[in-house]
């Protein structure tokens, strides 16, 4: 409806010639009615929505990251002629500086790359292996009855830098010195600490004091930096400069590896120079399933992505589009599907190099249909076991798309906040504790063994339908597969855009047994009592809680050549678009 602009009733009355009082009053009233009618007409086309922010839309590239600084670092590389892979590595390097509790060069990396020219997807598993000297017997002789959750015995070889090198060698257009420059510069000059990050930093201050080098690196004046405080990390700048000059060998065969190994020996660990020098990540074929016309991709084990796909297969047997977004019936079906898929994950998945894993069976629609029959629509299952087969944490996520349609879905992590808590002197980065996910149960496919990779929580994802491609991910330990499945459903079942689907209230169940489940309170008011009546034990969280992870997404419509970006309000991040070139 067209809006008609009128003078105010008072001004209009002043402009009228002298007239009888009644006539003047009627004209004032008529003018007021016209103004109100016009206002209501404009309201009729206003957007009433629960979505808090709009998608970022651009003909050029977009980088979505958990820090605006990291997203800008990636965009800067795009604007200097780099592609989505160059941008992703630049953003990741800066994320390791600005969110050191969650990621960094002391952690692992996984990525899915969409190459627009070939139309193919490529998976990268850059997760590190256990030291050759780290065995179940070694730990039990030291008095451990379960896998250490922190300290040097939880450290596996970090894979992130090797992952950067493989990404750049295969797809990149820029040199390491260019893509790492923003992180190096920012580490030297410093940056103001943001809200979410400051809270996590402060919560881990006592933990960091347990390691002298960690405290020296991350606790200026012996305390965690506050919101807005400038933090510098010259040691990390130096480490990144070594990598910029010498590539991955500077980390795995040079001074940095020697520093880490020496620190390990000093703390009674088993890391050796050979563990670093002989390590290499690998290119893998993504696994997939279909869901309501979409094809959804994850990486194969040793990651947990298979659980997201199995969960979607189970969910597909329920008419979620009919039961409604975040209704009790929809959430119940999703929660129960999660329990079933995660029980199978825990029982059957580990490092495929050490045992034959039943990936095909776990991904089959027939297996999902059998598992779905175990879901009682009226009752929560508090004790879920794995299906019968035929014989045979703390993390960051970012995504990028460039003007040509190349896309990257990248996730990188220290596992727990500040990982193992161990920093090698002078390096400026904490070593992750990814080995904590091994088990000392020798009968498990995830049992600790030398040069073996543990079952991994971090997973990048990708989905496509027709001309549309979406690179997405949602971090948060065991939250990830269940969050991925919910995100796909929000798009496929309920036609939400990539930003609305990211913001919509989610559930998460981080335990593997019991009926406990956490839920954001932005669901309809009747949902809580209805779920409790089915036996779910709910933990309600206000607003946008980081307990439910944080995600990013980029989308490309190849029919129009337009890119879209989304960033989760559960983090400090942003989706940042590339400016048009000055010389098109």
Q: Which pLDDT score, from 0 to 100, does residue 27 have? A: 44
Helix (H, G, I), strand (E, B) or coil at 537: strand
For 186, list phi and psi in degrees, rounded to 5: -70, -35
Helix and strand numbers, DSSP H then E, in the chain: 23, 19
DSSP E strand stretches across 273-341: 282-284, 287-291, 294-298
Please return the burial class of 531, using the count of CB atoms within 10 Å of its CB with bins 0-12, 13-18 and 19+.
Answer: buried
- Tell me how far apart the terminal alpha carbons of the chain are, to the nearest angstrom: 38
529 touches 509 (CB < 8 A): no
Which residues, in sequence order, are bridge partners of residue 401? 62, 407
Which residues, including other chains, have CB under 8 Å from residue 365's CB and lie 6 or more apart?
289, 313, 316
Q: ∠123-126-132 over CA atoms, to 5°?
A: 140
Q: Closest by alpha carbon to 350, among 130, 103, 113, 158?
A: 130
Whole-angstrom Cα distance, residue 515 to residue 317? 22
Q: What is the rounded CA–CA span in Å between residue 285 and residue 122?
A: 6
- pLDDT value of position 355: 85
Q: How many other CB atoms are there within 10 angstroms of residue 251's CB atom?
A: 25
Handedness of CA 354, 356, 360, 363 (dihedral sign): negative
Q: How far apart are CA 227 and CA 199, in angstroms?
A: 8
Query: Mind telling me the catalytic residues?
Result: 395
Which tokens in the block code for residue 222? 């012996």
Determine contact, residues 408/471, Cβ cutoff 8 Å: yes
The pLDDT assigned to 49 comes to: 73
Between CA 158 and CA 419 the distance in angstroms is 11
**Residues of the chain with pLDDT > 70: what percent?**
90
Tell me the three state secondary structure of residue 78: helix
Q: What angle do CA 257, 278, 436 make, to 5 degrees?
A: 70
505 vs 229, 254, 310, 331, CA distance in Å?
A: 32, 46, 22, 11
C-alpha pair distances (Å), 14 with each of 5, 31, 32, 36, 440: 17, 13, 14, 19, 88
* Contact assessment for residue 28 and residue 9, using Cβ atoms and an 8 Å cutoff: yes
**HSE-up of residue 578 (Cα within 13 Å, Cβ side):** 29
What pLDDT shows up at residue 12? 35
Contact 492, 472 (CB under 8 A): no
Residue stretches of the chain with pLDDT short of 50: 1-44, 391-392
Give the other-Cβ count within 10 Å of 3's Cβ.
10
Sheet holding 516-520: strands in order across? 507-508, 516-520, 537-541
- Sign, CA dihedral 525-527-531-536, equals negative
Q: What is the pLDDT of residue 47?
A: 56
Question: Residues with Cβ < 8 Å from 185, sequence gap 6 or more?
Answer: none
Which residues touch 266 (CB under 8 Å, ≥6 apart)? none
Q: What is the DSSP letter of 376?
A: B
Q: What pLDDT is stored for residue 501 in this prediction?
A: 97
Task: Give the other-Cβ count within 10 Å of 369's Cβ.
Answer: 13
Among 357, 462, 395, 360, smallest CA distance to 112 is for 462
* Side-chain-side CA neighbours of residue 137 (13 Å): 3
Q: Under DSSP, is residue 396 helix (H, G, I), strand (E, B) or coil?
A: strand
- Matching residue, tokens 């890391």: 271
């Amino acid at each position: 409806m067209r809006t008609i602009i009128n003078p105010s009733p008072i001004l209009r009355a002043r402009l009228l010639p002298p007239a009888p009082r009644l006539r003047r009053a009627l004209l004032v009233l008529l003018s007021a009615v016209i103004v109100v009618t016009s206002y209501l007409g404009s309201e009729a086309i206003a957007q009433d929505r629960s979505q808090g922010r709009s998608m970022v839309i651009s003909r050029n590239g977009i980088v979505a990251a958990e820090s605006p600084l990291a997203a800008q670092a990636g965009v800067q590389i795009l604007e200097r002629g780099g592609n989505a892979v160059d941008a992703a590595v630049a953003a990741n390097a800066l994320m390791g500086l600005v969110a050191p509790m969650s990621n960094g060069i002391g952690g692992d990396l996984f990525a899915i790359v969409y190459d627009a020219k070939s139309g193919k997807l490529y998976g990268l598993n850059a997760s590190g292996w256990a030291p050759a000297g780290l065995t179940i017997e070694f730990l039990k002789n030291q008095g451990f009855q379960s896998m250490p959750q922190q300290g040097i015995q939880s450290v596996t070889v970090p894979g992130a830098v090797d992952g950067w090198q493989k990404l750049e060698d295969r797809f990149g257009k820029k040199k390491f010195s260019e893509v790492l420059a923003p992180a190096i510069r920012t580490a030297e000059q410093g940056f103001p600490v943001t809200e979410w990050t400051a809270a996590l930093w402060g919560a881990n201050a006592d933990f960091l004091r347990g390691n002298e080098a960690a405290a020296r690196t991350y606790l200026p004046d012996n305390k965690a930096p506050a919101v807005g405080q400038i933090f510098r990390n010259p040691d990390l700048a130096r480490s990144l400069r070594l990598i910029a000059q010498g590539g991955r060998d500077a980390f795995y065969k040079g001074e940095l590896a020697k520093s880490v190994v020496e620190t390990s020996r000093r703390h009674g660990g088993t890391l050796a120079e050979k563990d670093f020098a002989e390590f290499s990540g690998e290119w893998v074929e993504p696994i997939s399933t279909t869901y309501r016309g979409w094809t959804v991709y994850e990486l194969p084990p040793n990651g947990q992505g298979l659980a997201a796909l199995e969960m979607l297969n189970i969910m597909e047997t329920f008419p979620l589009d009919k039961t409604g977004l975040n209704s009790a019936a929809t959430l119940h079906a999703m929660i129960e599907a999660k329990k079933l898929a995660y029980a199978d994950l825990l029982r059957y998945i580990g490092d495929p190099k050490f045992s034959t894993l039943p990936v095909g069976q776990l991904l089959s629609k027939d297996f999902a249909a059998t598992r779905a029959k175990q879901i009682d629509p009226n009752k929560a299952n508090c004790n879920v076991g794995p299906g019968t087969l035929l014989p045979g944490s703390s993390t960051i996520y970012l995504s990028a798309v460039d003007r040509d349609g190349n896309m990257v879905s990248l996730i990188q992590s220290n596992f727990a906040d500040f990982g193992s808590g161990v920093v090698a002197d002078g390096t400026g980065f904490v070593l992750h504790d990814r080995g904590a996910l091994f088990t000392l149960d020798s009968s498990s496919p995830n049992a600790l063994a030398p040069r073996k990779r543990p079952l991994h929580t971090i997973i990048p994802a990708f989905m496509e339908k027709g001309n549309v491609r979406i690179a997405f991910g949602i971090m948060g330990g065991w939250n990830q597969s269940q969050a991925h499945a919910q995100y796909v459903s929000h798009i496929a079942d309920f036609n939400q855009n990539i930003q609305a689907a990211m913001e919509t209230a989610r559930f998460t169940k981080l335990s593997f047994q019991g009926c406990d489940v956490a839920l954001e309170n932005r669901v309809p008011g009747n949902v809580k009592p209805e779920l409790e009546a089915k036996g779910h034990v709910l933990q309600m969280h206000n607003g946008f809680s980081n307990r439910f992870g944080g995600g990013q997404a980029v989308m490309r419509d190849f029919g129009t050549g337009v890119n879209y970006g989304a960033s989760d309000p559960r983090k400090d991040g942003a989706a940042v678009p590339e400016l048009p070139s000055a010389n098109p």
